[in-house]
Amino acid sequence: MDLKSVRYSVENKVGTITIARPEAMNALNKQVLTDLRVLLHELDQKREVRACILTGEGEKAFVAGADIKEMEGLSPAQAREMAVQGQALMQKIEDLPFPVIAAVNGFALGGGLELALACDFMLASNKAKWGLPEVTLGLIPGYGGTQRLSRNLGRALARRVALSGEMFSAQQGYEWGLFTQLCEPADLMPAARKLAGVLATRAPMAMAWVKEAINHGSDRTQAEGLKLESDLFGRTFETKDHLEGIKAFVEKRPADFQGH
Ligand code: DAK
C-alpha cells in the first residue's frame, strides 16, 4: 500500500491509523481521503484486525476539518459530488465489520468531527476541542455531521453545535455523552489500546452483528429493529465461535475466538 498522508501499523490484531499532516492540523485533503479509502478497502478485505484506532499525528489536532484551501472555486455540482464521496467514506468506516475507536487527541472540527462520528467510540484528550464550524465559512457539514450528531446527541444539542459553529471543550463533550472517556494527553493512546485490546478478545462476527443491529436497526421502527436483532441472533448459532464461547464458559477459561 502506497500511503502518503496516512500511517498504518498493526500489533496483536489491533490496527492503528494515523492521519499524518500535522503541518495542516491533519486537515482532510484529497490525498488523506484517497489514502483512507485505499487503506479501509484493504482492511475490510484482509480481516487481519479485530479492532482499530484512528488518531491524528502530533499534539494539536485530531483533524481540523476538511482542507479549506482545497474548497476554493468548486462548482455546486463538484461540491455535491465531494460530499457524496466523503459521506461514502464515512459510511465505510461505520460499516467496517470491526469496532473503530477515534482517539481524539486535539482539534476535531468540521470534517474531523464527522470522521470521529463515523467511529464506534470517541475517547478524547482533556485538551481536545470540537465543533462544527461550517456555518462560520458559509457552509453546512457535508460529511454526515448533521445526521450523525443528531443521532448521537439528539436534535437539540446537534442544533446547538451546528448552528452556533462554536468550539466546545472535551469536558462538555464528555458531559453530553459524545466522548466515552477523557484522558490526560499522554494517557490517550494507552487508553485507546487498552480498550482495543479488550475488543480484540471478543467474538469478531458477534461484534460485526452488534454494529449492524445498532447502526442499521436504530433508524427503523422498534419492531423492525427487533426483527433485525433476532435474525442476527439466529446467525450467531451458525458460527463456530458461539460453540467456543459457551464451551469456554463451562470450562471456566477465556474463550479463544477464531472469527468464524
Ligand atoms: N484546512 C486547511 N488548512 C488548515 C485547516 C483546515 N481545515 N486547519 C488548519 N490549517 C492550517 C492553517 O492554515 C495553518 O497553515 P499555515 O498558515 O501554517 O500554512 C496550519 O494549519 C496551522 O494552523 P493555525 O496556524 O491556524 O493554528 P492555530 O493553533 O492558531 O489554530 C485551529 C488551530 C484549528 C483553531 C485553526 O487552524 C482553525 O480554525 N482551523 C480551521 C478550522 C475549521 O474551520 N475547519 C473547517 C471546518 S469546515 C464539503 C464537505 C465537508 C466540508 C466542507 C465541504 N464538501 C463536500 C464540499 C467540511 C468542512 C469543514 O470541515
- Find the CATH number of the domain harbouring 114: 3.90.226.10
Residues 67, 17 share a domain: yes
Active-site option among 134, 166, 229, 251: 134
Residues 44, 60 share a domain: yes
Residues 213, 240 share a domain: yes
Tell me, yes or no, whether 1 lies in a domain.
no
Taking CA atoms only, the protein residue closest to ligand 1 atom 41 is 64
- Find the CATH number of the domain harbouring 226: 1.10.12
Tell me which H or E stretch contains 63. Answer: strand 61-63
163 Cα–ligand 1 center, Å: 18
Tell me, yes or no, whether 257 lies in a domain.
no
Provide the grid cell at 212: 449492524
Ligand 1 atom closest to Cα of residue 110: 61
116 Cα–ligand 1 center, Å: 16
Residues 182, 74 share a domain: yes
25 Cα–ligand 1 center, Å: 7
Strands 6-11 vs 168-169: parallel, antiparallel or unpaired: unpaired
Tell me, yes or no, whether 61 lies in a domain.
yes
Domain end position, chosen among 182, 199, 216:
199
Residues 240, 135 share a domain: no
Instruction: Please answer whether residues 43 and 52 qualify as being in contact, where contact means their C-beta atoms are separated by less than 8 angstroms.
Output: yes
Per-residue confidence of the chain (260 residues) as pLDDT tens digits?
Answer: 899 999 999 999 999 999 999 999 999 999 999 999 999 999 999 989 999 999 999 989 999 999 999 989 999 999 999 999 999 999 999 999 999 999 999 999 999 999 999 999 999 999 999 999 999 999 999 999 999 999 999 999 999 999 999 999 999 999 999 999 999 999 999 999 999 999 999 999 999 999 999 999 988 999 999 999 999 999 999 999 999 999 999 999 999 999 99
Residues 220, 97 share a domain: no
Q: Is 114 a catalytic residue?
A: yes
Domain end position, chosen among 159, 176, 199:
199
Residues 99, 51 share a domain: yes
160 Cα–ligand 1 center, Å: 21
- Ligand 1, pocket residues at CB < 6 Å: 24-25, 27, 64-69, 71, 74, 79, 82-83, 86, 107, 109-111, 133-134, 137, 139, 142-143
Tell me, yes or no, whether 260 lies in a domain.
no
Residues 172, 218 share a domain: no
Ligand 1 atom closest to Cα of residue 83: 56
Strand order in the sheet with 51-56: 6-11, 14-19, 51-56, 100-104, 121-125, 181-183
Residues 149, 78 share a domain: yes
Provide the grid cell at 204: 469478531
186 Cα–ligand 1 center, Å: 24
Burial class of residue 159 (count of CB atoms within 10 Å of its CB; 0-12, 13-18, 19+)? middle
Provide the grid cell at 83: 460530499
Tell me, yes or no, whether 188 lies in a domain.
yes
- Return the number of other C-beta atoms located less than 10 Å from residue 38's C-beta: 14
Tell me, yes or no, whether 69 lies in a domain.
yes
From CA 97, how far away is CA 49, in angstroms rounded?
A: 10
Tell me, yes or no, whether 216 lies in a domain.
yes
What is the pTM (predicted TM-score) of this model? 0.97
How many structural domains does the chain have? 2
Tell me, yes or no, whether 19 lies in a domain.
yes
Domain that holds residue 224: 204-250
Active-site option among 114, 166, 175, 244: 114
Q: Given the C-alpha cell 463515523, which residue does it identify?
A: 118
State phi, psi for 62 to the nearest 5 degrees: -75, -75
Residues 208, 195 share a domain: no
Residues 129, 221 share a domain: no
Residues 226, 192 share a domain: no
Strand order in the sheet with 61-63: 61-63, 107-109, 129-131, 168-169
Q: Is 134 a catalytic residue?
A: yes
Instruction: Please answer whether residues 209 and 232 qualify as being in contact, where contact means their C-beta atoms are separated by less than 8 angstroms.
Output: yes
> What does DSSP assign to residue 185?
G
